[in-house]
A = this chain, B = another copy of it.
Amino acid sequence: MTKGKLSDRQKRMLEFIQRFTSGNGYPPSIREIGDAADISSTSVVNYNLNRLVDEGYLTRDQNVSRGLRLTEKLGRAAERLTNVVRIPLVGRIFASEPVPLPGTDSPVFDAEEAIEITRDLLPSDDGLFALQVKGDSMIDAMVNDGDIVVMTRASEWRNGDMVAVWLRDREETTLKHIYREGTRVRLQPANPTMRPIYIDNPENLEVQGKVMLVVRQMN
């Protein structure tokens, strides 16, 4: 075999490994590969698997059944797998109520509802939760009824962040860009035609989360 080129057998093997793995959720055994690629001897399969390792298409774990995985050179299965973040949809967000926060207890698989977001849309990937906006009260934040807002629980914020805040005196939740200006805080609507709110008493301000992403689905 010329270096860098694959024989027909090896191509069939790779193809089968890809198909089998994505179909079954686990890789094929040596004998299963042999059957699929018309190779009667397990040693030959083993031999060619090692060639494929040499060429950088596979990695193998010694003495482990089905202990192979495709490298990035081919299907980026493992990569894509981690490219999706599962975010629990913990509730709805109204203007008239504080943001419902997720319990710290709930592991991922207890969440009844969740949405999946590709990681490249998000800067970080933990402490995330999602809320569905109910009502038209967030239109000054350019957020519609039905939109899904993905937030981090982090209570620290930097100038310009869009945050969900609970205003104690007004008893109101809003989404605004937040800026510290000397002793007071400016809450700036995303809609540039609308006026900011100024908060002089920090007691009235409760930052409940930082908005990372807004998703709007048309039906």
| Contact surface of A with B, Cβ cutoff 8 Å | 11, 14-15, 21-27, 29, 57, 61, 64-70, 73-78, 80-84, 86, 107-109, 115-118, 120-123, 136, 139, 142-144, 161-162, 190-193, 210-219
Q: Is the CB of A78 within 8 A of B121?
A: no
Known contacts A21-B78, A22-B82; can you find 4 more A-B pairs with CB under 8 A? A11-B107, A22-B78, A121-B215, A136-B192
Q: Is the CB of B74 within 8 A of A118?
A: no
Contact of A190 among B107, B144, B190, B219 (CB under 8 A): B144
Q: Is the CB of B213 within 8 A of A68?
A: no
What are 27 residue pairs bridging A and B, where the CB atoms are less than 8 Å apart in the complex?
A: A15-B107, A22-B82, A24-B69, A25-B68, A26-B64, A26-B66, A26-B68, A26-B69, A65-B65, A75-B81, A75-B86, A75-B116, A77-B77, A81-B81, A83-B116, A115-B118, A121-B215, A136-B192, A139-B142, A139-B191, A139-B192, A210-B218, A211-B218, A212-B218, A213-B217, A214-B218, A215-B216
